[in-house]
Amino acid sequence: MINVQYQSTSAVIGEGAPAFLIAEVSANHDQDLDQALELVKLAAEAGFSAIKLQTYSPESLTIRSVHPTFRVDPVWGARDLYELYSKTAMPMEFHRPIFDRSVELGLLPFTTLYDPRDLDFTEALGNCVYKIASFELVHIPLLKAVAQTKKPVILSTGMATLAEVEEALDVLASGGAGPIVLLHCCSSYPSEPDQVNLAAIDTMKRAFGLPVGFSDHTVGPHIPLAAVMLGACAIEKHITNDPNRSGPDHRFSAAPDVMRDMVRMIRDAEAARGDGRKIMRSSERVNRDVGRRSLYARADIAVGEAFTDRNVAVVRPGGGLHPRHYESILGKRARRAVVVGGPLSWDDIA
């Protein structure tokens, strides 16, 4: 179990705890503080556990260049990487009010770090757990810097092989990082269900002995639900108040109805999973008593009369002797009279 706390909000992440549900703001703040605070409100109303930001500037991620390798697909709404990140970066001054509003609404706030140069800023913010994005899993200097904070790390693993995950974990461990949660991920936007490979959650659990969650980029609530039922300890989901907004991430993010459905389905599934003991549940008792079969008199039985298949029946309800005793009492005699329709007990048998 991993315990994380920021001011008055806290969470437990790991096996045996409810799934840690992370609402990813990503670029859906649209560089508008009111829009960002609206997303925090929606996440709290839907029942998420945490709100997650992304802390970067264009210079944190790339450089200006006209080289063709810097061009991006037009679906992202920009010509090149620098222009894209200029449009999507959250202004640094948004962080504090978003953290404060999250705490007010009972959400645990934290952020993804992309550049060691921003570490002083996030530490001054009091950030309590660091997310490492899938694209940054190979950013060794960043991993070393985050490890030195000694704080918990949530490491996303989209596009990675087991060997790459192992290398990242070795860097974090050698730097003295706090407890680590892995997130299985498919880094396509949106992800198609046949590309998600949820079975890798168990693969990473067995390979690394760490809690493993799922960073989801599919559309809808059902794949995160499946991930939880396959053992994911955390779910990260991009959120929006309108998937038709013009920003690059809105199109694959969860609208309020999907957010609510996902949280409800996951919490219902966790409740349904139970403790694994195969016993009668308290809600079943009334139906057991009414609907199970037992031994009843199908005719009046006088004192001393033998029990036979003509005067004993195996019927509903369950008020008489267990059906397993049916053959053993045949031929025995009645100790006392039993009226037709009465349940048989051991007191009735001589």
Q: What is the per-residue burial (b if ≥16 Cβ within 10 Å, else e) of 89-128?
A: bbeeebbeebbebbbebebbbbbbbbbbebbeebeebebb
What is the per-residue pLDDT for 79?
Answer: 85
Contact 212, 182 (CB under 8 A): yes
Express each pLDDT in 41-79 by its tens digit.
999 999 999 999 999 999 999 999 999 999 988 888 888
Contacts of 73 (CB under 8 A, 6+ apart): none
Give percent of the chain above pLDDT 90.
Answer: 95
Express each pLDDT in 270-302 by its tens digit.
999 998 999 999 999 999 999 999 999 999 999
Exposed / middle / buried, residue 258 (Cβ in 10 Å: 0-12, 13-18, 19+): buried
Express each pLDDT in 200-241 by its tens digit.
999 999 999 999 999 999 999 999 999 999 999 999 999 999
φ, ψ of residue 248 to 5 degrees: the values are -70, -25
Q: Structural domains in the chain?
A: 2-273 (3.20.20.70), 282-348 (3.90.1210.10)
Give percent of the chain above pLDDT 70.
Answer: 100
Say yes or no to pLDDT of 21 above 90: yes
Q: What mean pLDDT value characterizes the chain?
A: 96
Q: How confident is the model at residue 265 (pLDDT cuts 50, 70, 90)?
A: very high
φ, ψ of residue 316 to 5 degrees: the values are -80, 145
User: CA-to-CA distance for 126 and 141, rounded, in angstroms?
Assistant: 21
Joined together, the tokens standing for residue 127 give: 């950030």
Q: Could you give the maximum distance between any two Cα atoms of the chain, in Å?
A: 105
User: CA-to-CA distance for 67 and 80, rounded, in angstroms?
Assistant: 9
What is the per-residue pLDDT for 77?
Answer: 85
Joined together, the tokens standing for residue 291 give: 């609907």
What is the per-residue pLDDT for 286?
Answer: 93
User: CA-to-CA distance for 224 and 263, rounded, in angstroms?
Assistant: 9
Express each pLDDT in 301-327 by its tens digit.
999 999 999 999 999 999 999 999 999
Handedness of CA 117, 43, 155, 62 (dihedral sign): negative
What is the per-residue pLDDT for 215?
Answer: 98
Q: What is the per-residue burial (b if ≥16 Cβ within 10 Å, else e) of 187-217?
A: bebbbeeeebebebbeebbeeeebbbbbbbb
Contact 215, 185 (CB under 8 A): yes
Exposed / middle / buried, residue 285 (Cβ in 10 Å: 0-12, 13-18, 19+): exposed
